[in-house]
Structure 1
Amino acid sequence: MQPAKIYLGSTESRIQQYRADSQKYWDKGDAENAQKYRDSIKAVIVNTYIKEHSFTSLEGSAFETANQDKPMFLQVTASWCVPCRAEIPALNQIAEKYQDQVDFVLLFQDPADRLTTLSKEYNPTITLVPSNKVVSDPNTIYIAGFRHTMGFPSTYLITPENQVINFTQGAQAPRTYTREDGKEVTITQEEANRQNFERLEAEIKDLLQKSAVHNL
């Protein structure tokens, strides 16, 4: 007998609790324990299922999550998110390379009128979905029944059977920072692109491998 499916939407209360616990440790300067709670959030999400959603793209076409014949890269993002913007070049390269094997869908915290100019920066193979209702919490989106409360960018890697097999957060952005040893480190746009591409490709390859196993 197959175990009952656990849906992503049913995990929100646990996610919120782990988020609160993680923040308590960040506030204390305890990064190690804060990260443990962040890892717990990922453990809650992975192997859940998303329900059937119908997303309306910026161009007005519908993207149905039901009965997909390809795995899906589903990312939640926002126009004002610096790492999200920095990731665009690498994401475009990945979408161009894997468009025949994976559906790329981006859910924006922004409404459609904010995306007209930004949309020109994305590869046309990527489906861009604006919010039709902006919620008060800047870390949350709610689009066509899909609710996310974990900030941006966050990525769900989903099999054709709508099972989440991985959940990742963050992207590299150009910056200069000081390490604990006092050394100043600069990450250029070129280096950020390289790191983002390598991470995204590793995620896509893992998604394709695990989706193939599911189809056996």
Structure 2
Amino acid sequence: MKNLLVLLVFLQSTLSYSQDNPVLFTDALRVNFSKYKSQSNQAFSQGDIERGQFLFDSLVQNQLIGSKFNNYTLKRVSDRKLKMSKVKKPIFLVTYAAWCVPSKGEFLALNKLAKEYHNDIEFIVIVWGKKKEVKKYASKLSGQIEVCYAHKTFSSGNEIVENLRETLGFPTCYLIDSYLQVVDIKRGSALVPLKTPTKKAVELNYNLFKERLAVIALPKDETGVLVKK
């Protein structure tokens, strides 16, 4: 009985410690990424897209969700810096690259969501590139979205690029709660055929992003549908 009590106390203290000291996101990624990359590369080389997506989802669900996102200090295009821990709201963070064109209607959809939900959610876009290259992105995004940039030639940006761009790629959407805990990670935007009318393209991206937002505690009505403030 005494040994059992000791074991229970140990397990309780271990659980409490793990809850108070979650694994850092980059540590969880570092431990599990090599195996994922090997299996993922093999799947995509064989043209097995479904298997590749399954592996990504498994990595996120089993290893990354629940980890604590790194307290990065991001470079804003506006010249000010943004420290992640200073944000006291859930975070919707999307990564892009300066040399890639977002899908049709994607930025308009983000602007629409930011207008509706900026009181509840912090919208952050990180563009991989230098400040001059990223300014064109900022001009297309709402002032309610924090537009930041990171480049591996910057000492402070190299770590961010290495941990995010060179592992999970882009565009990637990180859903993070107000305690910097990773709630979910999704890749890609809506699949919009080239000839899709702009209004329809915006709608497709809007619905996709809004569905992702649901996991970081946006207000809902009695039927579970997200509501505007």
Q: Please tell me the TM-score bracket, short chain as reference.
A: 0.7 to 0.9
Q: Distance in 1 between matches of 2:105 and 2:198?
A: 8
2:180 to 138, 143, 162: 162
- The one-letter code sitting in structure 1 at the alignment partner of 2:209 is L
**Does residue 87 of structure 1 match 2:106?**
yes
Cα drift, residue 167 of structure 1 = 0.5
**Does residue 75 of structure 1 match 2:94?**
yes
Cα drift, residue 69 of structure 1 = 1.9
Residue pair 1:57, 1:128 contacting (<8 A) in 2 also? yes
Q: Distance in 2 between matches of 1:61 and 1:169?
A: 28
Q: 1:128 to 1:155 in 2, by over 3 A?
A: same
Cross-structure match for 1:116: 135
Q: 1:38 to 1:27 in 2, by over 3 A?
A: same
Q: How does 1:119-130 map to 2 (within 5 A)?
A: 119-130=138-149
Q: 1:79 to 1:144 in 2, by over 3 A?
A: closer
Residue pair 2:128, 2:161 contacting (<8 A) in 1 also? no
**SS where residue 85 of structure 2 aligns?**
coil
Cα RMSD after superposing both structures: 2.5
2:119 to 93, 100, 108: 100
Unaligned runs of 5+ residues in structure 1 are 136-140, 177-185, 211-216
**SS where residue 184 of structure 2 aligns?**
strand
Q: Distance in 1 between matches of 2:201 and 2:34?
A: 30
Q: As a proportion of its length, which structure holds more strand?
A: 1
Residue pair 1:54, 1:144 contacting (<8 A) in 2 also? no
Q: 1:58 to 1:196 in 2, by over 3 A?
A: same
- Matched residues, number: 196
Cα drift, residue 13 of structure 1 = 4.2
**Does residue 37 of structure 1 match 2:46?**
no
Cross-structure match for 2:35: 17
**Does residue 5 of structure 1 match 2:14?**
no
**SS where residue 163 of structure 2 aligns?**
strand
- The one-letter code sitting in structure 2 at the alignment partner of 1:170 is G
Instruction: Give 1 or 2 for the bigger CA radius of gyration.
Output: 2
Q: 1:114 to 1:173 in 2, by over 3 A?
A: farther
- The one-letter code sitting in structure 2 at the alignment partner of 1:99 is H
Q: Distance in 2 between matches of 1:69 and 1:161?
A: 8
Cα drift, residue 157 of structure 1 = 0.7
Deviates more, 1:161-170 or 1:26-35: 26-35
Cross-structure match for 2:209: 200
Cα drift, residue 161 of structure 1 = 0.6
Q: Distance in 2 between matches of 1:192 and 1:130?
A: 26
Q: Distance in 2 between matches of 1:42 and 1:26?
A: 18
Q: 1:209 to 1:126 in 2, by over 3 A?
A: closer
**Does residue 147 of structure 1 match 2:163?**
yes
Q: As a proportion of its length, which structure holds more helix?
A: 2
Residue pair 2:72, 2:83 contacting (<8 A) in 1 also? yes
Unaligned runs of 5+ residues in structure 2 are 1-12, 220-229
Q: Distance in 1 between matches of 2:25 and 2:162?
A: 9
Q: Which runs of 4+ in 1 moved over 4 A?
A: 143-146
Q: Distance in 2 between matches of 1:67 and 1:118?
A: 24
- The one-letter code sitting in structure 1 at the alignment partner of 2:190 is Q
**SS where residue 82 of structure 1 aligns?**
coil
Residue pair 2:75, 2:150 contacting (<8 A) in 1 also? no
Residue pair 2:91, 2:122 contacting (<8 A) in 1 also? yes
Cα drift, residue 25 of structure 1 = 1.4
Cα drift, residue 70 of structure 1 = 0.8
